[in-house]
Structure 1
Amino acid sequence: MARNAPVAPGSVTAALAHDRLGIPSVAYFVLAGVAPLTVTAGVVTTAYAITGVTSIPAAFILVAIVLCVFSVGYVAMSRHISNAGAFYAFISRGLGREAGVAGALIALVAYNLLQVGLYGMFGPTLEAFIQQKANVDIKWWIYALAAWAVVTVLGLVRVDLSGKVLGVLLTVELIVIVALSIYGGVHPAGNHVSFHTLNPSDLTKGGIGAALAVAVLGYVGFEQSPVYAEEAKNAKRTIPVATYLSLILIMVVYAGASWVMAEHYGDSKIASVAGQQGPGTLFGMGNDFLNNAGQVLFMTSLFAAALAFHNACWRYAFSLGREQVLPVTLGRTGANGVPKFASAVQSAIGLAAIVIYAIGGWNPMTDLFFWLGTTGGFGILILLALTSAAVIVYFARNPGGENIWRRLIAPAISAVLLVIMVYLVANNFSTLLGYTSPSVAGKILPSLFVVAAVVGVGWALYLRADRPDTYAVIGLGPEAATGQSASVGELAEENV
């Protein structure tokens, strides 16, 4: 098969816009992907309701510690490798090209599931809100299509414009979460304050697998900061600071809000209240103004997350297109530095999902948002574990001035802990989907990533045999387009 025409060295189509994103913009994109209000109102209450474990705040703290250890090697590697498809590049350069393409397809599947799944929550939530406030009955998919249209437009314009939109939404969102937490915290159940839920010992009494799994899923999105390295100002400083800043802020918000919920409703009642009220468990802690503001911002949080994951999707498609692993048109950018075709493809996937679910009459809250979102989060967890292993192998060949803590000890610790978490999530997948016993969906949905990995490895082996030039630049990122190959020797070692 003939190889696609190469992208010209130095062409505007070969790279993203440089020096455009500072620490605040990168942090905003990361926080939007995490969707703090969506997690605080949705995931936290689900954790209480499903597990019955009261130490959910402790679970969020423990998971944050694990992810901070993971980030040590992760951001260290980002100083050596700059690529819009961070997982793809890191795994390729560490574990080899076959593993890298497999990781890239896992990432594409995971982020697309996360992105399109959000429309399944946004549409019905806005439908119920408008119906309650204005007594107007409009189908959920119309609202979902409206959100899709705005995300599509913002996904085609300057990335810093999207960053400013996210900045405004996230700032107000965090203020409301803090306000609700303070308001609920000054009205504890029985006028008694306890720190029992911050004690991790309760996690060992049962439900630890589901509790940690839900907590892990709450952090999905934090890993996106290296994805913006090519566009960041002073990336070697911006990316690490944005990563740790986001993690710490998220941990404080999650642990604080979940602790306050247990205090406000009572340790013994929080599980039943969460099961009955869902997101209303958080909003009900405030006065009428905060309650209404929380509901509105819950919807903007979903929108912000959809925009952030849209950007993450086209970045991975762009990375694979630039290196011609996927069609080269995906790797071409316009004058504003945005790969418009890759963005349009992701928009088409979102549109197809909304239309299919609308025509099929399927439940968007469970079958679209909950199922696909949970599955996408599991895919990201798999990538975190693979990346930890890749960091160890990469720095074993290329120490690059990194100390032993960053290149070996921290990545090894995180690799072990993340593999355990992958097992816990897989073992509790049916529970996460809302089943009380093993289910067909609980087996099929996680298997999507096995299929993606097999296809990725097979495609890489095909490229190796039929298109060796393409195979040779897998994972090189900008160097694949410019022809610079300072790491040719390093890449050759991958197959030894």
Structure 2
Amino acid sequence: MSAAIMGPAVSTFFNPQFSTPFSGAATPFVYLVCLIAILIAASGIVEMARELPSAGAFYTYVTRGLGPRAGFVTGGLMFVAYALLPPAEVGLIGSYLQTTFRSEFGSNVPWWIIGLVPAGLMMLLAFEGIRSSLRAALVLFTLEVLVVVGLALIVVGHGGHDGLTLHPLTPSASPNGFDGLTTGFVFAALSFVGFEAAATLGDEVREPRRVVPRAVLISVLLVGLIYVFCIWAEVNGLGIEATNKLDGTSTPWNDLAATYASWMKWPVIIASVSSMFAVMLNSSNGIVRILNTMGREGLLPSPLAFIDPKRRTPSYAIFATGAFAIVLALGVGAVSGGLGDPVGGSNVYGYLGFLLTLGILPVYVLTNLAAARYFASSGRFKLIRHGVLPLGGASLMVALLVGQILEQTVRPYTWFPWLIVIWIVLAAAGAQWLASKRPKQLELAGAVLASADAEQARETVGVG
């Protein structure tokens, strides 16, 4: 689950193109540093997952470590981060296939029309039930890993464009210096969003205290190494100069397939789309559950609580999720690049992906701080495991967020950190109001926002 939401193919085929305008040929270095940073940031998550296995995941960890108000803010940030994934993928699928169809067939189907197809299929599978969605996602995940790693091995086997070099694994390869590395890091971090998903299965797996932490760490390490190797192979395959010219509309892996293994062209195209769709499916399933549960608990309009009597699925919540994804994708695309140009769809993914990454990073900060405080107050504090690593992970994520505010100079990216700050302030104000007026509802609302685990929340806080 964790590995599938990270989406190895989509993260390898597309996310680097959003880093390369900033970090250029040093993008493999950025991914390597990001892998190390995420492993450190995961330390607090792993410790809390081992100590408090729960479907509430981050909400539970932060609430137990820092209190229900911080837990509510955590839930609000998670909700925003995962709600933006489906519309981001609608834009990316549309942009990628519009560019592909134009080059392969000479046709020019607008990206937004193409994006409606996966959005509709997403809703159809959700109507059929969670089993259909998960089975489809598992098949697509297996396919994408085989294709992306296979093509990377072929590129390396051919010796690349100008011979193999480790220079892309050094910071000096960045054409824009430290500023470029900092901004490129955020898009690299987007590739790791979802690694924590296994933590939400704490109530459903055997031996959760052992299995869940192991799943989180193995997912980060395995998928992270795939990223570093494949993106290093990409830079070597294209060459330094060509890599530095990439942008969000580029399709470098199509070019690599055409150059090094023409028979891989269509497998790459299929794996690219399947990976995007798998991410869309997994994220939309979570949002649907949250909307449905919030409807049942009176936190959102009651129609969202409706369950289809035949399929036993939350049909109105599914429709709301699909409609939100389509409207937001088309709105952002129309404003940022137009509905007829693939740049519009590409910008949807770039903007929303950047924004959701900035939304999830504070969650990692809060969880690591919660881990340090929880174990310090429990009397079982160990300096490295519960102090150095969690506080180090929190510091790295804070440094990244601050760096974005100070170093970012390209609009509209300069605005996005402030949008997250505003959202945090609003969530904190909402938590303060609930704490004073409806304290029991505060804990319930935070649990719902974080994981849709309302049944457990009701028992815990005595609501319902």
Could you say whether these structures have the same fold, taking a TM-score greater than 0.5 normalized by the shorter chain as the test?
yes
Residues 299, 429 of structure 1: CA spacing in aligned structure 2 closer, same or farther, 3 A cutoff? farther
Residues 184, 274 of structure 1: CA spacing in aligned structure 2 closer, same or farther, 3 A cutoff? farther
Q: Within the alignment, does 1:249 sit opposite 2:225 as a pair? A: no
Partners in 1 of 2:59 and 2:296 — Cα distance?
A: 13
Residues 138, 298 of structure 1: CA spacing in aligned structure 2 closer, same or farther, 3 A cutoff? same
Answer yes or no: is the 8 Å Cα contact 2:257–2:264 preserved in 1.
Answer: yes
The more displaced of 59-68 and 30-39 is: 30-39
Which residue in 2 is equivalent to 1:345? Answer: 320
**Residue type at the aligned position of 1:60:** Y
- Corresponding residue SS for 1:442: coil
Answer yes or no: is the 8 Å Cα contact 1:102–1:456 preserved in 2.
Answer: yes
Residues 208, 369 of structure 1: CA spacing in aligned structure 2 closer, same or farther, 3 A cutoff? closer
The more displaced of 319-328 and 100-109 is: 319-328
- Corresponding residue SS for 2:193: coil
Residues 316, 146 of structure 1: CA spacing in aligned structure 2 closer, same or farther, 3 A cutoff? same
Answer yes or no: is the 8 Å Cα contact 1:227–1:315 preserved in 2.
Answer: no
1:103-143 deviations in Å (ceiling 9; x for gaps): 22222222222221211111232234345545555433232
Partners in 2 of 1:199 and 1:65 — Cα distance?
A: 15
Which residue in 2 is equivalent to 1:223? Answer: 196
1:253-402 to structure 2, matched below 5 A, reads 253-267=226-240, 269-272=242-245, 277-279=250-252, 280-317=254-291, 342-354=317-329, 356=331, 361-362=338-339, 364-398=344-378
How many pairs does the alignment contain? 449
Which residue in 2 is equivalent to 1:447? Answer: 418
Answer yes or no: is the 8 Å Cα contact 1:283–1:295 preserved in 2.
Answer: no
The alpha carbon displacement at 1:339 in A equals 5.7
The alpha carbon displacement at 1:230 in A equals 3.4
Partners in 2 of 1:423 and 1:76 — Cα distance?
A: 26
The alpha carbon displacement at 1:177 in A equals 0.9
Residues 45, 191 of structure 1: CA spacing in aligned structure 2 closer, same or farther, 3 A cutoff? same
Partners in 2 of 1:157 and 1:428 — Cα distance?
A: 46
Partners in 2 of 1:200 and 1:319 — Cα distance?
A: 46
Residues 90, 334 of structure 1: CA spacing in aligned structure 2 closer, same or farther, 3 A cutoff? farther
Q: Within the alignment, does 1:213 sit opposite 2:213 as a pair? A: no
Partners in 1 of 2:104 and 2:283 — Cα distance?
A: 30
**Residue type at the aligned position of 1:418:** M
Unmatched segments (≥5 aa) in structure 1: 1-25, 487-496
Residues 484, 251 of structure 1: CA spacing in aligned structure 2 closer, same or farther, 3 A cutoff? closer
Which residue in 1 is equivalent to 2:450? Answer: none
Unmatched segments (≥5 aa) in structure 2: 448-452
Residues 59, 443 of structure 1: CA spacing in aligned structure 2 closer, same or farther, 3 A cutoff? closer
Answer yes or no: is the 8 Å Cα contact 2:292–2:305 preserved in 1.
Answer: yes
Which residue in 1 is equivalent to 2:139? Answer: 168
Q: Within the alignment, does 1:97 sit opposite 2:62 as a pair? A: no
Which residue in 1 is equivalent to 2:163? Answer: 192
- Corresponding residue SS for 2:260: coil
Answer yes or no: is the 8 Å Cα contact 2:3–2:195 preserved in 1.
Answer: yes
**Residue type at the aligned position of 1:288:** S
Q: Within the alignment, does 1:421 sit opposite 2:400 as a pair? A: yes
Identity among equivalent pairs (%): 24
The more displaced of 294-303 and 316-325 is: 316-325
Residues 213, 80 of structure 1: CA spacing in aligned structure 2 closer, same or farther, 3 A cutoff? same
Partners in 2 of 1:337 and 1:200 — Cα distance?
A: 53
TM-score by length of 1: 0.79
Structure ranking higher in helix proportion: 2
Answer yes or no: is the 8 Å Cα contact 1:85–1:104 preserved in 2.
Answer: no
Residues 368, 47 of structure 1: CA spacing in aligned structure 2 closer, same or farther, 3 A cutoff? closer
The alpha carbon displacement at 1:75 in A equals 2.1
TM-score by length of 2: 0.84
The alpha carbon displacement at 1:169 in A equals 0.8
Answer yes or no: is the 8 Å Cα contact 2:161–2:238 preserved in 1.
Answer: no
Partners in 1 of 2:177 and 2:281 — Cα distance?
A: 39
The alpha carbon displacement at 1:484 in A equals 4.4
Partners in 2 of 1:329 and 1:81 — Cα distance?
A: 33
